[in-house]
Amino acid sequence: GNSVTQMEGPVTLSEEAFLTINCTYTATGYPSLFWYVQYPGEGLQLLLKATKADDKGSNKGFEATYRKETTSFHLEKGSVQVSDSAVYFCALLGGSQGNLIFGKGTKLSVKP
């Protein structure tokens, strides 16, 4: 079945460091891929998405490229800020009910 695997956290970085959070998926076909961000005590916010292979999603300095060869959708940011501290979820649209399949989330802490 469809599944998403993302790197385990927590990830702790200093401000202005480079961020990579790895995400790989198993799916039939080429589903749309998403990154969501969750701040403490809140719901999920859509960060970026890519709907087909080789697409690059980007938002607020974050980027991720849909790589069908490696079945990956890694999240990157060139220079993180303290305000980026949150839990990041990788997901694919591939459930039989039209739902999202989520990874377990990666907690990011950015220190000043």
Partner 1 sequence: DGGITQSPKYLFRKEGQNVTLSCEQNLNHDAMYWYRQDPGQGLRLIYYSQIVNDFQKGDIAEGYSVSREKKESFPLTVTSAQKNPTAFYLCASKERETQYFGPGTRLLVL
Chain residues 14-73 in contact with partner 1, contact rule CB under 8 A: 32, 34, 36, 41-46, 49, 51
Site for partner 1 (CB under 8 A): which residue of 28, 29, 69, 97? 97
Q: Which is nearer to partner 1, 17 or 58 (CB)?
A: 58
CA 39 to CA 78: how far, in whole Å?
20
Residue with tokens 């980026």: 84
Q: How many residues bind partner 1 (CB under 8 A)?
A: 24
By the rule CB under 8 A, 81 interacts with partner 1: no
By the rule CB under 8 A, 89 interacts with partner 1: yes
Q: Which residues are at the interface with partner 1 (CB under 8 A)?
A: 4, 32, 34, 36, 41-46, 49, 51, 89, 91, 93, 95, 97-100, 102-105
